[in-house]
Structure 1
């Protein structure tokens, strides 16, 4: 039979539902959303303070559900993976990478691809380097492997959430309440600034260990991630390709969802 006519009848009838659940991983209960029934598992990794619900609406809705099984996770302390409250020890990216990989193993996905945005991109880079046999393909955007003095200035500009645009602030306040959102954003700025105090390196040393096919996407107008970051990733990850979206900002996967989804699907589906 054609793949669209699986055991449950025509694809359209069951292709749109998104299920939500929690599973215990590394002593915390991690929340995730799942959709699609394809053979190719794909994990979506959200940005700072983000979760599947706030960060990946157009991907959960529109990525090809016949080709892919799509999982969007909420890292510990974010979204519906509270408790625990979010904290930022020096190894918080490594901790997220281990949580993400262990979540996918707990869900019985032996091998999977990762789509990581912003902090989720950093987490995905670390996971791909540390668990190479588990990662099929990697897509990152709005990510960086180091923190410079210039970056710290940009981060401090978003420290005070009352200065955020209402459009970006509102879903976060609805998710967390104002106090948790404001506190956690400040804690994040301090947490990411730790790297600049040491040497700036977050995961530069791990990039040579990434062996899976890697696709870096960058918005030319990203106010948070200067272009030297994606250029560095492109140069230092073997065989990586780079796509720059001229009008793209930090949230290019939301703002240009159709173009983003098309490019990503093409990359993931290549033999």
Structure 2
């Protein structure tokens, strides 16, 4: 979904996230960043923590580890977890290549993320997926049950309904956004490139509405066997509540936790509560 657009307080929050990441660096047990060659592209990553439990953080649409996960990289337990944030191909610092949206782009991201962790030497790991990153996590868990320990997803969906399609098309033209709304991603991509990538994203996600039942990965949900926590903000304006309930119903043994005041960016707005939920779940 539009990971940065709704409910994030936009420019202010983007600035806050940058500050959080910058301030966190001196206090981490270890911080490293770099690029790994995976499936023909150089994927940017950041790694922190020294725990035995490895966790991959999967960002939302057009997002990156720096824009999407500042409070998690700073505050999740570094003794228990090794955290890996990454920029999917064509996003953030994993450019070139330019981002494109073929019909299998979620499958491609899932393979890239899993193969990145394997290349970095992690034999088993958990997934934290926000928005589009949550969709990617669902596919990765279904395709690689032997590799995934646990999974947390929020702001995510397994299909695109006609209601969803209307929401996406309402925000297609970024020139109609306020400057405050555009600025965070324009800083990453540039003014024209951001407009182009965003419009391509809308077309990319819209193509799923033409599939039977609008499926992105509905058929894969019964294949997920890892313990799964689904978190949903009840005031999320981009992901209607029928989506998390559908995931909960179709992922065997999953849990659903609702945050009454949460919006799409609940892990940023309510970072302390979110991080506690995640730590408790992953440490069980």
TM tier relative to shorter chain: over 0.9
Change in CA separation of 1:239 and 1:16 when aligned onto 2, cut-off 3 Å: same
Report the alpha carbon displacement of residue 127 of structure 1 after superposing the two structures with TM.
Answer: 0.3
Change in CA separation of 1:204 and 1:74 when aligned onto 2, cut-off 3 Å: same
Report the alpha carbon displacement of residue 50 of structure 1 after superposing the two structures with TM.
Answer: 0.1
Aligned to 1:197: 210
Contact 2:28 2:74 in 1 (8 A): no
Contact 1:234 1:240 in 2 (8 A): yes
Report the Cα distance in structure 2 between the residues aligned to 1:170 and 1:136, rounded to whole angstroms: 37
Aligned to 2:124: 111
Structure 2: tracts of 5 or more residues without a match:
1-24
SS at the partner of 1:217? strand
Comparing 194-203 and 108-117, the one that deviates more: 194-203
Comparing 14-23 and 92-101, the one that deviates more: 14-23
Aligned to 2:35: 22
Report the alpha carbon displacement of residue 171 of structure 1 after superposing the two structures with TM.
Answer: 2.0
Aligned to 2:281: 267
Aligned to 1:73: 86
Instruction: Report the TM-score when normalising by structure 1.
Output: 0.93
State whether structure 2 residue 237 is matched by structure 1 residue 223: yes
Aligned to 1:170: 183
Cα RMSD (Å): 1.4
SS at the partner of 2:198? helix
Report the alpha carbon displacement of residue 162 of structure 1 after superposing the two structures with TM.
Answer: 3.2
Q: Which runs of 4+ in 1 moved over 6 A?
A: none
Contact 1:54 1:172 in 2 (8 A): no
Structure 1: tracts of 5 or more residues without a match:
1-11
State whether structure 2 residue 101 is matched by structure 1 residue 88: yes
Instruction: State how many pairs are aligned.
Output: 259
Change in CA separation of 1:219 and 1:13 when aligned onto 2, cut-off 3 Å: closer
Contact 1:45 1:114 in 2 (8 A): yes
State whether structure 2 residue 77 is matched by structure 1 residue 60: no
Contact 2:29 2:50 in 1 (8 A): no
Report the Cα distance in structure 2 between the residues aligned to 1:90 and 1:231, rounded to whole angstroms: 25
